[in-house]
Amino acid sequence: MVARGKKVLTFKMKTDAPNDDELLKVMLGRSGTLRAPTIRRGKTLLVGFSADAYTETLG
């Protein structure tokens, strides 16, 4: 899950994985570093902030 403003993107890596360039484009901020906050829980990676997505994913 990648949150950018109010927009949330979800990628299904096992069935429909984007290429590396696509992932980097949405996961990196303007400075070229990983967007914050970033949370890894099990096999799920959350990048950026979305209260709704956090609640749905983390409970």
Structure tokens at 39: 């949370």
Question: Is the model's pLDDT at 6 over the cut of 90?
Answer: no
For residue range 9-54, list pLDDT tens digits in order: 999 999 999 999 999 999 998 899 998 999 999 999 999 999 999 9
Domain ranges (residues) in the chain: 2-58
Helices (H), 1-59: 20-27, 51-58
Max CA distance (Å), the chain: 31
Three-state DSSP class for residue 23: helix
Q: What is the pLDDT of residue 40?
A: 92
Residue 38 gets the label, from left (phi > 0), alpha (psi -120 to 50) or beta, of beta
Q: What is the pLDDT of residue 45?
A: 92
